[in-house]
Amino acid sequence: MRLLKITFLLFCIYLTTSFSCKKETTLCGCGKENPIKSIEWLDYFIHYYENDKSQNWDEVNLYMYDYKNSNAFIFETKRIGTYDLPTSIFDCEGKTIFICGGLQPPQLDSCSTFYKSASNEKLLWSKKY
C-alpha cells in the first residue's frame, strides 16, 4: 500500500512538472509573462495599430530588447516610399527613453546610444496591412 502511495505521488509530481510553464519557453518582459497582454500600455498600442486605417501603414512590428537590467520596447512602423519615420523607444512604464529617426541631425538621434547597450532583440508582435 505504501509503495502504491509513493508511486501515485511520483506520478503526480511528474504530471505537474511536465506540463507546467517552463521559464526558458515563457516570454517575459518587465517581470511579467506575456507582456503584450499583461502590460496595459502595450496592449493599448497594439489595439491602436490593429485598428488604425488613417496612417496607411504597410507594416508595424513590436520589438523588445534587454536594456539596463530591464526591457525596452520599439514599435517600428513602415510605409512604402517613406524614409526614416520617427521612432520612440519606451521603458516598462511606457515612458519614452529615446527618440530616433525623423531626419534628425546625428547629434540629436539617440538610437545609436540605445543600440550600443541593448541586446537580445525579440519580435513580440507584427502586422502587415
3-state secondary structure of 20: coil
The count of structural domains within the chain is: 1
Whole-number pLDDT of residue 119:
97
Residue 57: inside a domain: yes
Residue 11: inside a domain: no
Q: Report DSSP letters for 59-125, one per residue.
A: EEEEEEEEETTEEEEEEEEE-TT-----EEEE-TTS-EEEEE-SS--TTT--HHHHHHH-EEEEEEE
Rounded CA gap, 78 and 127, in Å?
Answer: 10
Q: Is the pLDDT of residue 96 over 60?
A: yes
Containing domain of residue 94, as a range? 28-128
Q: Which of 38-47, 60-69, 96-105, 114-123 has the lowest mean pLDDT?
A: 96-105
Residue 5: inside a domain: no
Share of the chain above pLDDT 90, in %: 46
Higher-confidence position of 30 and 105: 30
Residue 18: inside a domain: no
Rounded CA gap, 70 and 67, in Å?
Answer: 5
pTM higher than 0.85: no
Extract the C-alpha cell encoding 17.
512538472
